[in-house]
Each structure stands twice: as structure tokens, then as C-alpha cells.
Chains A and B, each alone.
Chain A
Amino acid sequence: MTALAQRSPGRRFLSALATPGGAVFVLLVVLLVAASIANPRFAEPDQLVRFLARTAPIAIAAIGQFFVIVSGEFDLSMGAVIAAQVVIAGNVIGQDEAMILPGIALMLLVGVVVGLLNGLLTTLAKVPSFIVTLGTMLALYGFVRFLTGGAATGNPVDSFREIGRGSLGDVLPYPVIILVVLAVGAWLLMRAPFGHTLLAVGDNPVAARLSGTRTGAVKVAAFVLSSLSATVAGILLVGYAGVHPSIGTGYEFQAITAVVLGGAVLGGGRGWVLSAAAGAIALELLFTVLNQVGIDSTWRPSVQGIIIILAVALGAVAWRTARRPASVTRAEAAAGADPDPIPTPTPTPGEQ
């Protein structure tokens, strides 16, 4: 990393594009061009902004998932948190305008509590986060379906739903504004001491602890951020899609796919938060392109599956190349996306 800092900005930019975290932006541009060729109207600013508004919830969820993944954990409860928040919005806010602010406060509180629960069980009780968040997922889904009976119930007042579907002066949709604000916030947070600590904890928890980091507190904060971002995604989705207990299903895996596509390494310690958001947008863009080309939307999961495997396989090769000792020229590292398998022993495949 120090070697990178000494080179000219132009070369730094180019070599950054060759890392998995940078390659996703190249992919984004390629897909954007492809989408505009397939459908010239797509490139018009208003269409693009509308597309961005549609992808805002998943991009925000990906940002939240990024914090957890980069600290070396998983958050599978994300989809269930979204579903719970959507149902809370439907039941608590209802048609009462005065309940909007208390309702949002309650939703944020629920988000914090779920995040704390996930984080504390993972760090204090030492349960693998995969199992903890699976447990909270089951519990929350059970709770949501118990409350609603599995059907759509309640419909929050329109002024609340405006957050998800309205726009500022008919030009800039609120979801886009929220996404940009959160993305900038997340970017600043990752540049702050907290972000560096988070990366350190994910990369080598033992070293981080020995250097005096309170690893537990940092991980708990990551889980809380993840649940809060799921809460925001839920608020946006209520506006966009209304209240139904099945909203949010699959969001955890989609967010993980996006984060991985954005070059973050499962197991923690590596990744850039804006690449995670870009990964989410690229994924949605890819689905849009496939739609335009006339491929059935039922193939969506298959495409997602191929993408996620390829992204991780190529990303692993690229990171390994980038991590080689300084004697290897950086030019080679810059060409890292080209798969040249090095027989370095990797850790156990299933290591958490």
C-alpha cells in the first residue's frame, strides 16, 4: 500500500481500476454502454436517475452488508429486518400523519436492537455470525408472519411513502439523495479511525486485539450499521412497493453478492465501501441489460450465481497477485485480473 502512494495519480488510478474493487466500476461503465446500445432511451438522464432510485434500496443494503463482511462476519438477517420494518411501517404508522416521526424512530430503534443482538451474540457468546444472524432471521420472519398472517396488511399514509417514491422538485428522487448521502457518509466513515479499525479487525483479529483494539465493540457497531441500513432500505421499499411480508426476501444474499462483486473479500479485511454500492448497481444494471436483450427474468438467479462465482474466483486471483512481495513489479500486479494461478496455500475454504 505504501508503494502505491508514491506513484503519480494517473498510474495510481489505473492500478486501482485493476483491483477487484476498481474493476467493478469498469464493469459498471461497460454495462451502462451496453444498456444504452440495447435501449437508447435508457441513457437519458431522467431514465438513469429513475433507475438509480430503483436500485437505491439494494445499494444501501449492500453498504450495510459491506461493514459486516469487511469485519469478517455475515449478516443473513438483513432481508428479515427489511420485512419486519415494512410491516412495522404498515401497522404503526398506518393512515396517521402524526405517527410518521414516532414510527421512523421506532423502526430505527428496532434496527439498532437487532444489530446489537446480532453483534453481542457474535462477539460475547462467540457464536459464528452465520448462525446468529440465521437465528435472528428465522425469529424475525416468524414474528412478521405471525403478526400479519402472511398477507399484506396495513398501508402507511402517502406522505410517508413519498420518501420512497417521491422526488425533490420532480427531478431528483429522494431515494437517490438518501443513497448519495449514505454513500458519502459510509466513505467518510471508512476513512475515519473507525474504518481503519474495522479493516484491521477483519484482516487479523488477533493482531488487532493485541494492538489494543476493542474488536468486539467494532464488530457490534458493524452489525448495528448493517441493521440500520436494512431499516433505511425498508423505509424506501415501503414507498416503492407497499407493505407485504415477503418484501425483503433474498436481500441478504443479493447484498452479499453485490459486496463480493464489489471486490470485498469474504472473511474480512479487504474491500472498498463505494465498490460495494457500485456492485449492487452493476448487478441491477446487468439484470436490466439481460431484460432488454430478451432473456427471461426467470434466469435472473442463474446469472447472479455465475456472477458471484466468477467475481470471487477472479477476485481471489487478483488479490493474491496484488499481495505478492514488492520484488514483483507493480505492472504485473496491475494486470492482476488476468488469471495466473499461483500455487500459494490458501486457508481452509470454509474458514469463517
Chain B
Amino acid sequence: MTAITQARPARRARLSTTAIVYIVLVGVIALSAVLVSAAGESFFTSSTLTSVLTLMSILGFVAIGQTLVIISGSLDLSVPYVVSTASIVGAGIMAQGAAGVVPGVLAALLVSAAIGAANGLIVTKLRVHGFIATLGVGLIISGWLGTSFQGSFGSAPPEFRLIGATLIAGVPLSTIIMLACAGLAALLLHRTRLGHHIYAVGGNAHVARLSGVRTQVPVVVSHILCSMLAGLAGLLLLARTSVGSPTIGSQGGYDLMSIAAVVLGGTLLAGGSGGVLGTIGGVAIFAVLDHVMGVLEVNPFFKDFVRGAVIIVAVALYAWRSLQRRPPRFHGKGTRT
């Protein structure tokens, strides 16, 4: 008995976190296939693939950005309001027709980047906890949105709406863009100096500073990138719904869901460890669950219950596992999470 329990952590330690995420994803898909076929529908069809990939795209954008911010040791709770703001700004400028598409996209991304810069500067210069800084900025934006806009605003020309509707070999264009962003973010994290600095600062800001890293730059940049990715998500929602909406971000609950997806993907909430690939796996798990509950016509309110349960169980598994894994490298200091 003791031999078995001692052998298990050693074997698990060889699996990377990302591998576990995808094993869980395969498990979820298998379970879904059983449930769906038990209900008399077929699961492995191209329409399922399209549906799951579509469900992935928006949360995917937000979660990629959230991954960067969380690895750098901060958090972003302002994303839903950035999503709404981008959709409003984009729709306002695009209302003039096809000529407004490029300026609309640029303006929306610029505004998003400015919000991200504000987040990053409040976190680094005023030394406010990322939780509070972005919660505060999010609240400020939501007050502005709630005061200035009632109902939908502006519109998107048909050319722009194509982005939301185009399928390439069954894969939505929006998902392709999202995966491209994920690839770029992974390149940034693993192949550039800035990426390594993001990990260093998130792991231990003090050590990073003593090693000559400018600790503020990575945090600010990851906040800016996160907000711009949230802005892209807002533009994509605009392309789907064709009108800007001041509440579309908060309705989606993208702040907490993206953090959940990031943590589900094996990134440490305390920062310094994790990756984009795991996050995409986490987003895919949510998308498969959503799709299956949609097909099975589960009461929509029950979805939240399942999501909550999945988050807790998955993270409990990781946390248990990472406890077994962490001590060898950083003994004592730096493990107080």
C-alpha cells in the first residue's frame, strides 16, 4: 500500500502540466462523446468541431492575454470592460461604412492598449496589487460605459462581419486568428528576452531585480498586450453581433472565466510558471463542456454549476501535484504561495 502511494508522485512528476491539461481534455471529450451518443446524437462531426472552435475563440483571446499577465505576477479583472469598450469604439467608427473598418480596428486597439498601459502603470508605479488596480480600472470604465451608452451603439459593415462568419475548412477564421495570437504569445514567452523577463519577474520580482532585470517593463507590457487581446475579442464580438454593446463583456464574465481557464491550463496564479499552450487546453475544456451542455439542452443555469465544479476539481488536482513537485528546486524561500 505504501509502496503504491509513494510511487505515484514520482511517476506523475514526469508529466508536464501541459500534458495533464490535454489528457484531461481528451478525457472530457471521451466523456462528452459517450453522453452525446447516449442522447442519440453523434459527437464526432464537423459541425461539432466548428461549434467547439467557435466557442473557443473569444475566451481564447482574453485567456491568452490573461496568461501573460498572470505569468508576470499580476492579474487582470478589467478585461470584460475592455471587451465592451473595444466593441463600442469599433462600432462607433465603423458606423460610417466599409471605409471605417481599418480606422475602427486601429482605434479600438489603441484605446485598449491605453487601458492596459494604465493598468500596468498603476500596478508598477503606484505599487497597487494587480487585483485591486484592474478591479478599480474596470469599475471606472464600467461607470463610463453605463453612463454614456444605453443599449446598442453603432454598427459594423458587412465586410467586417465576414470575419465572424467565415469558415476555412470547417475552422472559423476567428479561431485561426486566435490560434495565431497564441502562437505569437508563445514565441514571445519562450524565444525573446522580454518573455524570459516576464517569467523572471513573476517568479520572484526581488531576485529578478537583483539580477539586473527592469522589473516594471515586463509587467506593463504584459498588461498592454492583455488589454489589446481583450480588444480583439471585443472586435470579434462586434463582427458577430454587428452592433457595439456596453454590456457584452460583463455578460460573458470574461474576467473570472479567463482566469479560470488560465489556472485550469496549469499556470500558477502566483506567477512565474505556466504557458499559453496549457491555457488553450483550458479554454478547449470549457468550450467542449459548453457545447455538450448545449447539445444535451441542459438548463443553462446548470452550466455555471458544472463549470464551478470543474474549476475546483481540476485546480485541486494540480495544486496537489505541484506540492509534490516544487520543493526540490526552490527549497524554503520563494515557495510561500
Contacts and interface: CB of A to CB of B under 8 A. Distances in A.
Contact of A136 (B132, B308, B323, B336): B308
Contacts of B143: 298-305
Contacts of B206: 345, 347
Given A131-B263, A135-B311, A350-B70, A345 B129 contact: no
Given A131-B315, A309-B132, A349-B123, A139 B337 contact: no
B136 A139 contact: no
A251 to B, nearest CB: 14
Given A125-B320, A135-B308, A301 B336 contact: no
The interface residues of chain A, by DSSP majority, are classed as: helix
Interface stretch (A58-66, A142-150, A156-164, A191-199): A142-150
A126 interface: yes
A348 interface: yes
B139 A267 contact: no
Interface string A196-239: 00000000011000000000000000000000000000000000
Contacts of A299: 143, 146-147
Interface stretch (B9-17, B95-103, B197-205, B228-236): B197-205
Interface residues of A, number: 56
A349 B302 contact: no
A142 B312 contact: no
A143 B308 CA distance: 11
A316 B122 CA distance: 13
Contacts of B323: 126
A130 B130 CA distance: 13
B128 A316 contact: yes
Contact of A135 (B219, B269, B309): B309
Interface in B280-337: 299, 301-309, 311-312, 315-316, 319-320, 323, 336-337
Given A139-B304, A145-B301, A298-B143, A349 B270 contact: no
B64 interface: no
Interface of A: 74, 76, 121, 125-128, 130-132, 134-146, 149-150, 205-206, 253, 256, 260, 266-267, 296, 298-309, 312-313, 316, 345-352
Given A76-B256, A134-B311, 9 more contacts: A128-B319, A128-B337, A130-B259, A132-B315, A135-B312, A137-B308, A142-B306, A146-B302, A309-B137
8 contacts: A138-B256, A142-B302, A142-B306, A149-B301, A298-B143, A312-B129, A313-B122, A313-B126
